Structure 1
Amino acid sequence: MADVGTGTVEANGLEFGYLTAGPASGPLALCLHGFPDSAHTWRHLMPELAAAGYRAVAPFMRGYAPTAIPADGAFQTGALAADANALHEVFGGDGDAVLIGHDWGAFAAYGASGAAPGRWRRVVTLAVPPMGAMLHSFFAYEQLKRSFYIFLMQTPLAAMAMSDDFVAGLWRDWSPGFDASDDVTRFMACMATPAHMEAAIGYYRAMLDPTRHRERYASEQDAASKPGSKPTLYLHGSSDGCLGPDAVFADHAALLAQLPPESRAELVPDAGHFLHLDRPGEVNRRILDWITTR
């Protein structure tokens, strides 16, 4: 198995910490994590990418230590997408690069590939479909219960609530049966200061204030809300306790209509929200089959 190294790099005016594996000369495979998680979430996939000849890079997302907290306080999807495209530039990516995102990383992947399609050959997103595919079912009663945390994030009590126990509870509800103790510890380490915790919460607050910093990230923000042009594989766990498959796959044709042409959307059996950790062998196989297809 390939060794996983660490490093820091400046992109989009921000210093990012990252994990990396594989040959520096290989095509870039940028792997973006979500909440409440860290770059270590890709620990099963990165060695497989490296073995396939890719230069796998998994940054800690903006505001997640050791990555810096952005001085402008921008956390909307457009900013995350701009980060991904800036990292592509810094790591010398070309048109053969692939983009893989889970949860908030999926939102970033939609925006990045839509805003700069020439940078990416193929895209994989996990656990969060394009926003247009879920709006019709988000306000269903069962989904609103699952999404309570989004509303908590809008309150002044959010940081106080984000204890180890609370985060462990989210993992337990979202990927039932998975032992997330190490991942909870890694996430809490990323929340190195109260400012880092406020940054992670800021992603959710930006959902209700998408016009903030709009001039700087306008093209990426707009791209995130539209089907792009790069073929995308969307994977979702059949036992996802965060965003229920009933909400996502209620209308498969409507889901595909929100993805670029030649895309696919698939359920992964016996997997929760963190499907790449619940079923690493199965998810890795699907991802590698997708990104190696020409």
Structure 2
Amino acid sequence: MKEIHAGVLNVSYREAGPADGPVALLLHGFPYGAHAYDDVVERLAAAGCRCIVPSLRGYADTRFVSPDTPRSGEQAALGADLLALLDALNIPRAVLAGYDWGGRAACVVAALWPQRVVGLVSCEPGYNIQDIATASQPIAPEAEHRLWYQYYLHSDRGYAGLETNRDAFCRLLWQQWSPLWTFTDQQFQATARSFHNPDFVEVVTHSYRHRFGLVEGDPQYAAIQQQLARQPLISVPTVILAGTDDGVRPIEDERTALSRFTGPVRRVILDGVGHNVPQEAPADFADAVLSLVSSRL
């Protein structure tokens, strides 16, 4: 693992593949970590890509530079972190690929700074920018019950529960969100180390409270969040990967899934795959990245 000072963070990241290869920046979600991309990196590096796999704020060995920086998990902060990392690594343009929180960061940069993006791989929802203004509106009961963990983390009880039971809480989500994926204890433990970052609980609970408008964001990202509130379109070439057995949310209809994209976009449905797409279907994920790299070349 390497470290670099990028914006408000010292980012811990893995790098693999030729230094002069086309760059693929791979971004994990909650509650996962950089190990989700181990098999993807192996494939991409063998194909000549330079792979960068950072740990997000609040995960693994990534740390805030200042103790005074708010431990925000809001979408604007995640996007700003990604942009700062591209700048710190002197990467002018890259394929951005991610899911869950990582997919959100990639979508934010693709929407607001498309000149920095060769292409986007985003796991469903492909358009992963939160519409906080409408977040308090109820959805269908069969979809609401999947979000129990978000409502739980709105409370002090949820904060204490995550603090006390980090591994058990996250393991349960792995099981619920990928019901057909039989992961090993070794696979889970390799990632579970990421949850013991001192800022993990604070960042996670802030994220799930901010997205419902329950807490304020970090003022330094207010201008970015104002842009995101307008639900900007994404114009860069995009591949959306959708698992049919994602336990977080039902699969979207095609029209809804593609409605916020104005550039070339295609959607790949992955039968039997749950929420953790890169670890469950690494070949499909790598193929999606390589299709965008090839278009660049």
**TM-score of the aligned structures, taking structure 2 as reference length:** 0.86
1:106 to 1:138, Cα distance in 2 relative to 1, 3 A: farther
Q: In the alignment, which residue of structure 2 is the partner of 1:104?
A: 101
Offset of 1:176 from its aligned partner?
Answer: 1.3
Query: Which residue in the other structure is 1:18 paired with?
Result: 13
CA contact (8 A) 2:24 2:289 kept: no
The answer to whether 1:244 aligns with 2:242 is: no
Deviation at 1:73, TM superposition (A): 2.2
Q: Quote the offset at 1:179 in angstroms.
A: 3.1
Q: Which structure 2 residue ranges, 5 or more long, are not aligned? A: none
Q: What's the CA shift for 1:34? A: 0.3
Q: Per-residue deviation at 1:129?
A: 3.0
Specify the alignment match of 2:200 in structure 1.
196
CA distance in 2, matches of 1:132, 1:12: 21
Query: Which one of the candidate residues 28, 34, 42 is aligned to 2:29?
Result: 34
Within the alignment, does 1:222 sit opposite 2:224 as a pair?
no
Q: Deviations over 1:76-135 (max 9, x none)?
A: 11110011111111112123x110111111111111111211111101111333257997
Code of the residue aligned with 1:199 in structure 2: it is: V
In 2: Cα distance, 1:72 partner to 1:133 partner: 20
Aligned to 1:271: 273
Q: Structure 1 residues 116, 193: CA separation in 2 closer, same or farther (over 3 Å shift)?
A: closer
Residues 1:288 and 2:285 are matched in the alignment: no
Question: Structure 1 residue aligned with 2:81, among 83, 91, 109?
Answer: 83
Find the counterpart in structure 2 of residue 3 from structure 1: none
Structure 2 counterpart of 1:156? 156
Cα-to-partner distance string for 1:42-98 (whole Å, 9 max, x where unaligned): 111112221222211111001112001472222211110011111111112123x11
Q: How far apart are 1:283 and its partner, in Å?
A: 2.9
Cα RMSD for the two superposed structures = 2.5
User: Is 1:233 aligned with 2:227?
Assistant: no
Query: How many Å separate the matches in 1 of 2:216 and 2:293?
Result: 34
Deviation at 1:173, TM superposition (A): 1.1
Contact 1:27 1:94 survives alignment (8 Å): no
Give the letter for the 2:58 counterpart.
G
Q: Given the superposition, is the C-alpha separation of residues 127 and 187 from structure 1 closer, same or farther in structure 2, using an over 3 Å criterion?
A: farther
Q: Secondary structure at the match of 2:268?
A: strand
Q: Size of the alignment, in residue pairs?
A: 284
Tell me which amino acid in the other structure corresponds to 1:279. Answer: A
User: What is the percent sequence identity of the aligned residues?
Assistant: 28
Tell me what 2:117 maps to.
120
User: In 1, distance between residues paired with 2:276 and 2:142?
Assistant: 20
Is the 8 Å Cα contact of residues 237 and 263 (structure 2) preserved in structure 1?
yes
Equivalent-residue separation in structure 1 for 2:143 and 2:284 (angstroms)? 26
Partner of 2:263: 261
| 1:271–1:42 CA distance, 2 compared to 1 (3 A) | same
Note the C-alpha offset of 1:200.
2.4
Distance 1:132 1:198 in 2: 21
Give me the whole-angstrom Cα distance separating, in 2, the residues matched to 1:48 and 1:35: 23
- 1:182 maps to what in 2? 186
TM-score, normalised by the number of residues in structure 1: 0.87
Indicate how the Cα distance of structure 1 residues 155 and 183 shifts in structure 2: closer, same or farther if over 3 A, else same. farther
Q: Give unmatched runs, 5+ long, in structure 1.
A: 1-5
TM superposition shift of 1:227: 1.4
**1:59 matched to 2:54:** yes
In the superposition, relative to structure 1, how do residues 193 and 18 fare at CA in structure 2: closer, same or farther (>3 Å)? closer
